Structure 1
Amino acid sequence: GIFFFRNRHALGVSVMHHYTTFSTSLTQFLLSRYFAFCALFVFLFLVIATYNRDYVDSMPPDRDLSKEIEEYAEVCGSLTSDLEGTGPERFWIYFVTPTYVRPQQIPELIRLSHTLKLAKNVHWIVAEDSTSCSPQTAEVLRRSGMPYTHLISPMPAYFERFLRKPKGVSGRRAALQWLRHHLKDLDSQRAGILYFGDDDNTFDLKLFSELRKTMSVSMFPVGLVGDYGISSPVVKDGRVVDFLDSWADSRKFLVDMAGFAVATDFLMSRPSAIMPYLPGHEEDRFLQSLDIELEDILPLADNCTQVYVWHTKTLERDRGVIQHPKGWRTLDTNLGSLYEVARYLGLSDVNASR
């Protein structure tokens, strides 16, 4: 007892030394495992990114994927009409909108339909990424009262394995195929302008009068794009000389999908023009397949000083689940019908277990 009492300080120092050593070793062990995990994560990320980048760069723009992958397209419905008005308005604008099922789909299509109805002589081509014709989309198109073509063209299963998927490309390719067939006679009643307009974008009505000036290929600014907040051709002395865009990545034409239009007679003169399955490069490679140079591009929107289209996006949300309380009756209230509409529109499901 006297020994421990006299050496209590030395014993305390020894215990603290061993504790400190153990704590330091444990910390070093955990840090080494943490950094090893981080290094492994970075390595796997680079491998995946390189794998997908090789996939993007290894596919030439004129490659016919229809022989290598299974593509499918079907016409669900169509409504045509004669041209209205006189002068510059007597050109069809073939407005191509790829879409897919989600809670925001129907309200976005309804909103877009109201814009398109205000612009005369617009033929709306809606292409769904789906294996079956959606009655909800068909209803929106019928109610719009405007000329339309409803297509389905699901993204080929071949691309499901890739991290970066070519979203919307199958629909645009199906629309191009339908348009070529529709325009094969190239009579004055069907010639016009091709434009790709997504269902979540916002369009000024001035855009449509600008589009009708297109003789071969035209370009114009798009707002709310990339880190710059805007994407646009650079115009000098009335000619396109370069591009302003925050993302280059070896693209020749730094332009957003909503930032260009093509005259249909010019499109028909380029039978090999196609939009390839190249994520992030669809616009550039499609324009390259048209075999154009900068001097062939017509700058619109007051020499690209005005913005008439914005790349807006609706807040994404999952399909909701309504918690229907026990004891609440649906037969004598509006809830039964409301629940059916919510299911039909893809807004929500009902959980009646509470």
Structure 2
Amino acid sequence: MLYPSGKLTTSDSNLGSRKYDSSGLVIVITTTRSGDKFEPIALTRLAHSLANVPPPLLWIVVEAQKKSKITAEGLRGTKVMYRHLTYKDNFTSPGGEIDYQRNLALRHIALHRLAGIVHFADASVIYDLKFFEEMRKIKRFGVWPVATVGLNRRKVIIDGPICQESKVVGWFSKDASSRTNQAIASLQDIRSNPTKMNVFGIGFDSTILWDLSSSSRTKTTTNTTKVFLKFVLEEATREKDTNLKAIPSDCSQVMLWHLHIPRSLVHPLHA
């Protein structure tokens, strides 16, 4: 089921004679979509962004084995430390495949005890690089607003935490392009339905996965790859509001933009 590329892999130009420890490690998980011919371009763009983040950073890219050769070649040419995970399973639901990929990555992190702060990043994400400085300050869970930019930039949806004096008190979602249709949810609402949380807007200490990987919850299920993402979302909503680190501390700034654009409509030079 899980076919990792082997030991921790990085391009020679990045490794050099330096040795990295896990202190301050950021683990970025990126999923891929079957049949997306522009995926290599998007991954290359993200690789350039991640190469500007001070180490240590580990990029985990997950995709179907049938399309992994091109990606593997591209990853070897980056200046980013990475692991490339592949699988043989076939999917008819894009959403189901994405969740499967995220769970595979989390399971890999748990099995290999990769200690760091985990962040889910789509290939089309754009960062304020100061975001990673803040992310490394996370003790257990961190949350931040995410802007999703639609086609032709005509619609921008922002969702994320609501803060009062650096304390997370709820969640909001609004259409910034029209300044209307704002929805607000309390922490209690989020806790009753963890799937309302935007996975691109949370980060967490990977060591929370250690107990799960050895617990009865994974031993009693026939497919252990299904439980990790669900566990993370549930734990994030259970976390005391005083322990949730907001990025930035007053939740006032968007530091991550998600370009939610159908790639089939995008010219490859602009992907």
Fold shared per TM-score above 0.5: yes
Alignment partner of 1:74 is 2:11: no
Question: Structure with the greater relative contact order (CA < 8 A, sep ≥ 6): 1 or 2?
Answer: 2
Amino acid at match of 2:199: M
Following superposition, the deviation at residue 155 of structure 1 comes to 5.6
* Contact 1:155/1:170 (8 A) holds in 2: no
Query: Structure 2 CA distance, aligned partners of 1:208 and 1:241?
Result: 23
Q: Deviations over 1:32-91 (max 9, x none)?
A: xxxxxxxxxxxxxxxxxxxxxxxxxxxxxxxxxxxxxxxx2211354166328xxxx941
Following superposition, the deviation at residue 131 of structure 1 comes to 3.6
Query: Structure 1 CA distance, aligned partners of 2:106 and 2:72?
Result: 20
Partner-residue secondary structure (3-state), 2:259: coil
* Contact 1:103/1:318 (8 A) holds in 2: no
Structure 2 residues not aligned, in runs of 5+: 174-182, 219-223
Query: Structure 1 CA distance, aligned partners of 2:196 and 2:240?
Result: 13
Matches within 5 A, 1:53-64: none
Alignment partner of 1:317 is 2:253: no
* Contact 2:100/2:225 (8 A) holds in 1: no
Equivalent position to 1:234, from 162, 168, 182? 162
* Contact 2:148/2:259 (8 A) holds in 1: yes
* Contact 2:166/2:250 (8 A) holds in 1: yes
Amino acid at match of 2:103: R
Query: Structure 1 CA distance, aligned partners of 2:163 and 2:128?
Result: 21
Matches within 5 A, 1:39-188: 72-77=1-6, 78-79=8-9, 82-83=19-20, 90-101=23-34, 102-120=36-54, 121-128=56-63, 130-132=64-66, 134-153=68-87, 157=91, 160=92, 165-183=95-113
Alignment partner of 1:259 is 2:201: yes
More strand by share: 2
Equivalent position to 1:306, from 241, 244, 253? 253
* Contact 2:143/2:203 (8 A) holds in 1: yes
Query: Structure 2 CA distance, aligned partners of 1:83 and 1:251?
Result: 39
Alignment partner of 1:286 is 2:228: no
Q: Deviations over 1:166-195 (max 9, x none)?
A: 241111111111111221xxxxxx532111
* Contact 2:140/2:243 (8 A) holds in 1: yes
Structure 1 residues not aligned, in runs of 5+: 1-71, 184-189, 321-341, 343-354
Larger Rg: 1
Query: Structure 2 CA distance, aligned partners of 1:174 and 1:133?
Result: 17
TM-score normalised by the chain length of structure 2: 0.72
Partner-residue secondary structure (3-state), 2:263: coil
Query: Structure 1 CA distance, aligned partners of 2:25 and 2:204?
Result: 12
Query: Number of residue pairs matched?
Result: 233
Query: Structure 2 CA distance, aligned partners of 1:150 and 1:137?
Result: 9
Following superposition, the deviation at residue 292 of structure 1 comes to 2.6
